[in-house]
Amino acid sequence: MTRFAVTRAIEGLIVLLVMSFVVYGLIGLMPGDPIDLMIASNPKLTSADAQRLRALYGLDRPILERYLNWLTAALQGDFGYSRAFARPVLELIGPRLVNTLVLMVASLTVALIVGLAAGLYAALHPRSLIDDLIGYLSFISISTPTFWLALLLMMLFSVVLGVLPASGMPVGADTGLGERLRHLILPVATLSLASAGGYTRYMRAAMIETLGQDFIRTARAKGASEMRVVLRHGLRNALIPVITVIALDFGALFSGALITETMFAYPGMGKAIYDAIMANDFNLALVTLLFATLTTLVGNFAADLGYAWLDPRISLAAGRAGT
């Protein structure tokens, strides 16, 4: 188990390192470069100045060398300055990361409760009217563009009903908790509705598969109560594949968070990434992207550990010979 965790952690770090290089390279390919932008904002700079500045910032060096310089600085906690905000990138990231985690954790919780419950119910009542209904709703959930879902919810709750704010999470420290929560409702609803359909489908399929297996029949034959069979034997085994899928879906969840944050002007990492890229804020874009990757990798890692914890074969395998 420990060895498994360590291996996965190392793999995650390698992915992060590779991603940092890829993203560094891609960011360098975005339109304009920092010196051009400086020249644009300061007409007194000549092309000779530009050359000197380029050399000063090391922008005339090969990409690998620039990357290694960046990496060395980054590993010492220096991620550079945000051009748009004129502040160290790291300072900007903290509150946004918290906001995104709040959004993602809240949405994941809602989506899991809704999805797993609906999937479980559908699996226990296959081919019933409610099963059909759940099937269609989850189908619509996986087929609807998240940004359009956000538009529809805005239209319904802000425009037609006028009960919820469409955007603009208040940032000030004096904002009351209630006001903050009110601003969270639509983003969380969007993101959880977008993910719940997938979870429902996985859960239903896994549960139906599990309930058809021999050990369930054995448990029933032994006279265990239906509740016990379903919850103790069925659910635990059905959750194993579901957790894997949820782990693989963390990246998608973050993508959904980006859309949701952008739509509702919610000040999180996703919106920061989008804004930074649109504003050519290279340092901020680079670091927010890497933090996004890190977030999903950590989520993945946690789910992997949960998987190992739930699946008895993994912990037992080390001490057992043969198959």
Measuring CA to CA, how many Å separate 59 from each of 33, 36, 104? Answer: 9, 12, 37
- In the numeric block, which tokens belong to residue 250? 């963390």
Neighbours of 98 (CB within 10 A): 13
Contacting residue, 13, 15, 37, 223, with another protein by CB under 8 A: 15
| Closer residue to another protein (CB): 139 or 232 | 139
* Residue of 76, 31, 82 lying closest to 285 (CA atoms): 82
In which residue are the tokens 């609906």 written? 118
Segment interacting with another protein (CB under 8 A) among 44-52, 168-176, 233-241, 262-270: 262-270
Residue 291 CA to residue 223 CA, distance in Å, equals 51
**How many residues does this entry show for the chain?**
323
**265 three-class SS:** coil
Shortest distance in whole angstroms from residue 309 CB to another protein: 13
Task: Please name every residue paired with 88 in a beta bridge, in sequence order, or none if there are none.
Answer: 81
| Closer residue to another protein (CB): 32 or 58 | 32
Shortest distance in whole angstroms from residue 196 CB to another protein: 16
Shortest distance in whole angstroms from residue 257 CB to another protein: 9
Contacting residue, 19, 53, 102, 208, with another protein by CB under 8 A: 19
| Closer residue to another protein (CB): 121 or 224 | 121
Residue pair 203/138 in contact (Cβ under 8 Å)? The answer is no
Residue 298 CA to residue 250 CA, distance in Å, equals 9
- Which value, to the nearest 10 degrees, does the dihedral of the CA atoms of residues 7, 13, 14, 20 take? 170
Segment interacting with another protein (CB under 8 A) among 16-24, 81-89, 113-121, 220-228: 16-24
Contacting residue, 28, 80, 88, 170, with another protein by CB under 8 A: 28
Shortest distance in whole angstroms from residue 90 CB to another protein: 19
Residue 45 CA to residue 37 CA, distance in Å, equals 11
Segment interacting with another protein (CB under 8 A) among 68-76, 79-87, 176-184, 252-260: 252-260
- In the numeric block, which tokens belong to residue 308? 């190992």
Measuring CA to CA, how many Å separate 247 from each of 251, 259, 297, 300? Answer: 8, 20, 9, 5
Binding mask 129-148 for another protein (x = CB under 8 A): ---x--xx--xx-xxxxxxx
| Closer residue to another protein (CB): 175 or 213 | 213
| Closer residue to another protein (CB): 181 or 248 | 248
- In the numeric block, which tokens belong to residue 208? 């139906």
Contacting residue, 39, 220, 274, 305, with another protein by CB under 8 A: 274
Interface residue list for another protein (CB under 8 A) = 3-4, 7, 11, 15, 18-19, 23, 26-32, 127, 132, 135-136, 139-140, 142-148, 151-152, 154-155, 159, 247-248, 250-252, 254-255, 258-259, 262-263, 270, 273-274, 277-278, 285, 288-289, 292-293, 295-297, 300, 308, 313-314, 317-323
